[in-house]
Structures are given as C-alpha cells and as structure tokens.
Structure 1
Amino acid sequence: MIHQRALEYLLGLQGAALLRSFTEESDPGFGRARVAEMRRLLDRAELDVEPVAVERVSAVDGYRVWSRTYDEPGNGLFPPEEETVHGILGGLPPGTAVDAACGTGRHSEWLAGQGHRVIGVDGSADMLARARERVPSGEFHEAPLERLPIPDAHADIVVCSLALTHVRDLGPVFAEFARVLRPGGHLVVSDVSHELAAIGSVPRARIDGERPALLVDHRHRASDYLGAAVPAGLRVVSCAEPRMSPPVPLDTPAELPDALETGPWDQWPWSLISLTPEVCRAVTGDMPVLIIWHFRRDPDR
C-alpha cells in the first residue's frame, strides 16, 4: 500500500528546489525562502491530516476505469507526443501499421487517415471497445504486448504509445516488435519520462468508484530501452525528449497563499503544484516529459 499526504508532497517540492539551487546560480534569498516556507507548511493545521491509502493495480484494472475519460481534453502529454510521432511517420507510404497498446485508438485513427491498414492490439477490452468505434476500418485484438497476434515480418510500422511504463521487462516486448516488423520497418515508441513520473505523474483511478489506486509504473531509463531494442535487431534512428518548459531562474518565489485548498486526491499532484507554482517551475524547468524513440528493423536480420 502507498500512503500519500499533501503536506509531504509540498515539502518534497521545496526540497527538490533546494537540491537544484545547491549546484546552480540562484537568487541570494532562494534557499532561505524555501526553508522558511517549509516551516510554514508544517504549521498549517489543515495539512496535518491522515494519509490517503493508495493501492497499486494492474494496467488492465486501471484502464477499465480510465477508459471512460481517457479521451477527454486536458492530457498535456498528447500534443507534444503526437507532434513528434506524426513528424516521424508522416509521409511514409501507406502500408500495414500495428498500433501496439492502442488504447482508445488515438494513433490508430491518425494512421488510418494516412492510408495505412491498421491493426490495433491492447490488453484492455474496455479500451478496445472505444477503439473499434473510433476506427471502424481497423482490425483490433485483445492480447498482451509480449504475444502479438500478428504474423512474422507482417508490418511496415509499429507504434507503441505511453504504455511501456506499465511493463517491467522490456526485452520480450521489443523482441515481439522486431518479429512482426518487416526488414527495414519502422518502430516508434513513446513513454512518460522517468523524471516526470518521479514527481507524481502516474495514472490514477478509483477502483469500484471508491478505492484510490495508482496504475503499475516502471521507470525505464534510456539504457533499458536500448538494452531491449538493440539485441532484437532494432537500430536507433532518433531519440527525442520534449521538455516541460524552458529553464527558469531560481528567483525567490511568492509566499504561500492564505488559504490552502489541496483539492481531492483525484486531482493530485496537479492541484498541489498549483499552490506553489514558482517552486514547481523551479523543479520542473527543462525537465523531459516524454521520451520518444524511432527505431528501424535491421534489414539484414
């Protein structure tokens, strides 16, 4: 069980800002202001509450709930992810495209619009139901990423978007991607950066409409992706890391507001970040929000 308290998150942001200022130029009062603000946070009685007990659930269980709202506007990761993915794949000749972990068919819809024959695979029946409605021309299967129901060397393109953070061992997944790709075929993988996940950006849901839960989350580094992809016969074409925002100077931020409305657990950490926006910018300035890989299958393998 995970235990989350608003107070501890806010103190953690202050501490992260202090760590950055320890090795970077900053306003002379920045460090003292952070320490003083931490003392004020500790004195706020409305923050001295019992932690929220949060369970860890599988992606299938989590997306069963999240599928109802997944396509609603407001997910800040979609625009930069789509811009990069579309830039890589736009202009390729129509062929067979596999949307692995297709979810509600966000990329399947775009690929079909580019003239590709789309095959979507996902482990969530609830997400697939929405994908089938969204892309009537697509072919969709319920299956895990480690066992794609697709013949060898069948696809010109494989896309896997914002899903591998839920996978512990990347080796079998990349081996499957390589297996279904034709020699010279393109693989594009996007994922949430491990740095963004470390500050709390992990999908959350209420199981049975009540129990707080975080989806299973594995924080892969670049070496994890490369260690799985290269032995499978996939070579790197490019790697992009869209950023949160430009770097910001470490100036002394404004003091805490008089009223601290932390918002419901469902809105954490974003409602908490809004209480100390300058400190958040100090922590997240220039932080990668995504990592997006473009691989091609070795034509000689």
Structure 2
Amino acid sequence: MNATDGWRESAQAWIDSLGEDGDFGRRWVLDRPMLERAKGARKALDVGCGEGRFCRMMQAQGTRTLGVDPTEGLVARARERHPQGGYLQATAEDMQVEDGGFDLVVSYLSLIDIPGLEQAAANMARALEPGGRLLVANLTSFSSAGTVAGRWLRDRDGALRGFLMDHYLEERAEWVEWKGIRIRNWHRPLESYMRVFLDLGLRLTHFAEPKPHGGDPEIAARYVRAPWFHILEWRKET
C-alpha cells in the first residue's frame, strides 16, 4: 500500500487511536471470537497486521506468528512492542512467505485495505499447509457501502433513525476519516469476497456475525441494529 492510500500519513494517529485495548469493534466484538478460532494454531501469518496487536494476542496463547504489513511506521512499532515476534514489511499482493508454511493465515479487518484482492487471496492460500485455515474478519459489505460519514441517520432529537447505504454492487475505494486518520477503504459486495476464495478451492467451514459482549451500551446498540462485521473461516483441502 502506498502513500496515496493514506496509511503512511495516518500511521501514528492509528497507533494512538488503537492503543493496546483496540477500538470498540475489536475489543468488544471481534477479539474474543477471533482468538477462539485461532486457538491451537502452531504458526500463524497475520496479513495486514498493522502495529502487531493481534500477533501479540496470538503469541500470548501459544502461537508463533509472522506479521505482514506494507506501512513502515506500523511495522516499526510492531517490532518495538514485540521484539521477539517476526514482522515483514510488504503488501499482501507482493509478500514473499514460505509456501505451505502456516497452519493458520489471518486477515483481521485488512481485506478492505487491499486493492489487489485476487493476488492477495492467492498468496494467503499459497501460504497455507494442506488442511490449514484462513481466518477472516471483515466489514460486512452492507456497512462498507455507506456513503456518508458516520452512515447513521438521526432524528432531530439525535436518536438513531436508520443506516444509509447505496450502490451496493459497485466495487470502489472511498476515503474515510476519523480521529486524525484518513485512509482509503475498499467496498466490495459479499459475492466478490466469496468468489475469490471459492475459486481458489477453499472450503468455507465457519461463518458468524458476532454481537458485542460488553462495552458502552449506546455504542454496542449500533453493532446490533445494523450488520457490521462477519467472521469467515476457510480450509485448504490439498
């Protein structure tokens, strides 16, 4: 990913915003089910690892990890926080990792940042050993189709009225901004993600739309009223 995607310029703001606990969606929605699915893996490749937070979490439960991310500032921070971990600065499309070297490959909210989905997916599948698993957490395509900052519509009294989306079937990149971060995210319909992994011969073995399990009730309500995240697990048969 290059500077035009905003990540290099936004790296420090991202680090400051995420912290060690993560944002609401990670801490209160995705971390727990993602760690449960990752449990027992011997060696994991985390594609789009950012500042290495999920690598550290997997290491804490006994999994050796290699994190890959294209943003120099994020990789540097990952190495600083986790000197014993392995980190590689590379895009998902161009990463050079061992063929069949991992029993788990993770994409934790990174597919929306990847322009070359087909090549990235092929590299993820290539990195898996036979019987290995690809674990994906992604924004639902419903939520990534929102076209107005915040996406929620409110009544005059401020109450949430509904959720705005448009042009669902149109694949596109859009700029998003929050807390000093300005990056490009990709919207794709669910079919695009499903097709690319099915075409690689992977078998879908798990699908979930996790609910919040704590945190601020007002924020949690937004993740219940509209679909926001899903988790998919794919298995490489041969």
With normalisation by structure 1, the TM-score equals 0.60
Match of 1:293 among 199, 213, 232: 232
Aligned Cα RMSD in Å?
Answer: 2.6
Moved over 4 A (4+): none
**Higher strand residue share:** 2
Which residue number corresponds to residue 105 of structure 1? 52
Residue pairs, 1:241-256, within 5 angstroms: 241-243=209-211
Structure 2: runs of 5 or more not aligned: 151-175
How many residue pairs end up in the alignment? 202
How far the C-alpha of 1:244 sits from its partner, in A, is: 7.0
- Residue of structure 1 in register with 2:205 after alignment: 237
The answer as to whether partners of 1:141 and 1:149 remain within 8 angstroms in 2 is: no
Against the structure 1 CA distance between its residues 113 and 135, is the aligned structure 2 distance closer, same or farther, given a 3 Å change threshold? Answer: same
Larger radius of gyration: 1
The answer on whether the counterparts of 1:153 and 1:179 sit within 8 Å (CA) in structure 2 is yes
Secondary structure of 1:217 counterpart: strand
Aligned match of 1:148: 95
CA gap 1:156/1:287 in 2 versus in 1, 3 angstroms:
same
Q: 1:1-301 maps to which residues of 2 (within 5 A)?
A: 57-71=5-19, 73=21, 75-79=23-27, 80-90=29-39, 92=40, 94-197=41-144, 198=146, 200=149, 202-204=176-178, 206=180, 214-243=182-211, 286-299=225-238
CA distance in 2, matches of 1:284, 1:68: 23
Structure having greater relative contact order (Cα 8 Å, sep ≥ 6): 1
Q: CA deviation at 1:295?
A: 0.7
CA 1:73 to 1:115, structure 2 compared with 1: closer, same or farther past 3 Å?
closer
Cα distance, 1:232 vs structure 2:
1.5
What CA deviation, in whole Å up to 9, does each residue of 1:9-43 have, x standing for no partner? xxxxxxxxxxxxxxxxxxxxxxxxxxxxxxxxxxx
Q: Percent identity?
A: 26
Gaps of 5+ in 1: 1-55, 207-212, 246-276
Per-residue deviation, 1:284:
6.9
1:179 positional shift: 0.5
Instruction: Note if contact 2:12-2:73 (Cα within 8 Å) is conserved in structure 1.
Output: yes
* 1:219/1:184 CA distance change after superposition, 3 Å: same
